[in-house]
Structure 1
Amino acid sequence: MQSLNDGWEPLEFPKIDQLTRYELVTEDGEQVVKATTRGGASGLIARVNLEPSDSLVLQWRWKVSNVFEQGDAREKSGDDYPARIYVAFEFQPEKAGFFERAKRKAVEVLFGETLPGNALNYIWANTLPEGKFVPNPYTGKTVMVAVNSGSEQVGEWVTIERDIVADYRKAFGEAPPPVVGIAIMSDSDNTNETATAWYGDIVLNP
């Protein structure tokens, strides 16, 4: 990768002006993405179109400088993570109500982009126990999955493997639609804390 423009694009949010800083760095002899968040939020997303089969394994490495003292995946005020991997799935209009379809259409007309449907968020949590699934406090369409928790492994590279088909079934009770995006995000807009995260290779294996 020569720059963060190679396959990645910014993922930004309305009403959040303070953005996370992402840069390519060499860490422990390897090229990784370094994210620095100071009271803001933004991500980097790679757009894909991938039809899941019986199994789809997502593997990545990451490291964080700290967890957030005020972090709490169950509360809006604590919905921040030094590191997270966001897996977005295709919207299924046949399973949505009329008002949701109309609202989404209005957003697409205004902003010119197609919104994803359900999502899995793999998080480095503060107090949520490792392995726990909880709905996001802002939307039931996103389920948070704690793959690391607490500060025991802070400062260490951790390798994670998740079968996103199995996780989607557990989170939403059905087989997943196509994957349309994979994003990295370090955010601190709710807790107003500070953290640095490093993201290594992200690989999808059918």
Structure 2
Amino acid sequence: MNHALNGLLASLILPILAVPAQADNDDDSLVRAFSAMTSLEDGWEPLEFPKIDRHSRYRLVQDNGEQVVKATTDNSASGLIARVSVEPGESLILRWRWKVSNVFEQGDARTKEGDDYPARIYVAFEFEPEEAGFFERAKRKTVEVLFGEELPGNALNYIWANRLPVGEIVVNPFTDTTMMVAVNSGESNSGEWVTVERDIVADYKEAFGRTPPKLAGVAIMSDSDNTGESATAWYGDIQLLKP
């Protein structure tokens, strides 16, 4: 994502553009299943960023008889988001499957220039004012006045990385309120469907050293505006489940 905007947008923009997700899922998931959607606006909404004119493209397609979301990114950045309000409790499971055509040659989760991913899932949490310093609270208050929205706090990004080892968690190069979790890495599984399951509570504790607050939103994003590269990704149903 654009260098000047990424830090602010990654930690602040989600609820400004989000709308509540549909509650009438076919299973126990707290977000709308892609396989049950009649359009991309059926529980998820576009996530687009100021000053980024090239948007990644998302559409519903059939893959082996199942409806999934196909994302195409080409020197572009945008996503799809769903607003949720969930108390994590002792465990909260995020389960999904995805597939990518390739990773980015210049992709590197540790650098601003390489902060692009053919596929990622973004989990945002409510802001915790008691954990923030004075300047962070003041900055957020200014944006709230401008946009009239309560803004999220920390975030976990589950990424299909290029060179970051699977299982490693690193701070986002633009903002320390977002932690990057490599759940897949490299080309070895490119072109194949991969199923991932994570305990959001356990990941949050490892990443931030404390119990997570209430969830505020879930997003998917395929972006390549920093590297200028291109890729295609497919996202199957995303399940947010309380055990």
TM-score, structure 2 normalization: 0.83
Pick from 173, 184, 187 the counterpart of residue 148 of structure 1.
184
Corresponding residue number in structure 2 for 1:76: 112
Instruction: Answer 1 or 2: which has greater strand percent.
Output: 1
Deviates more, 1:87-96 or 1:181-190: 87-96
Give the SS at the match of 1:13: coil
Equivalent residues in 2 for 1:83-102, closer than 5 Å: 83-102=119-138
Q: CA offsets, 1:110-163, max 9 Å, x none?
A: 233322100000000000000000000000100000000000000000000000
CA distance in 2, matches of 1:137, 1:14: 20
Q: How far apart are the structure 2 equivalents of 1:17 and 1:109?
A: 25
Aligned to 2:84: 48
Shift of 1:29: 1.1
- For 2:148 and 2:119, how far apart are their aligned partners in 1? 28
Which shows bigger deviation, 96-105 or 60-69?
Answer: 96-105
Which residue does 2:235 correspond to in 1? 199
SS at match of 1:76: coil
Residue of 171, 174, 183 corresponding to 1:135: 171
- Tell me how far apart the structure 2 counterparts of residues 175 and 152 of structure 1 sit (CA, whole Å): 34
Q: Does 1:2 align with 2:61?
A: no
Tell me what 1:29 maps to.
Answer: 65
Name the structure 1 match of 2:152.
Answer: 116
Aligned-partner residue type, residue 157 of structure 1: W
Please report how far the alpha carbon of residue 105 of structure 1 lies from its aligned counterpart in structure 2 after TM superposition. Answer: 1.5
* Structure 1 ranges of 4+ moved more than 3 A: none
Percent identity between matched residues is: 75
| SS in structure 2 of the partner of residue 52 of structure 1 | coil
Counterpart CA distance in 2 for 1:157 and 1:114 is 36
In 2: Cα distance, 1:145 partner to 1:103 partner: 26
* Unaligned 5+ runs, structure 2: 1-36
Q: Which of residues 141, 144, 162 is equivalent to 1:126?
A: 162
* Alignment deviations for residues 149-203 of structure 1 (CA, whole Å, 9 cap, x no partner): 0000000000000000000000000000000100000000100000000000000
Q: CA RMSD in A?
A: 0.8
Correspondence for 1:161 among 188, 194, 197: 197
User: TM-score, structure 1 length as denominator?
Assistant: 0.98
Secondary structure at the residue paired with 1:165? helix
**1:176 aligns to 2:212 (yes or no):** yes
Q: Which amino acid aligns with 2:72?
A: T
Length, aligned pairs only: 206
Which runs of 5 or more structure 1 residues have no equivalent in the other structure?
A: none
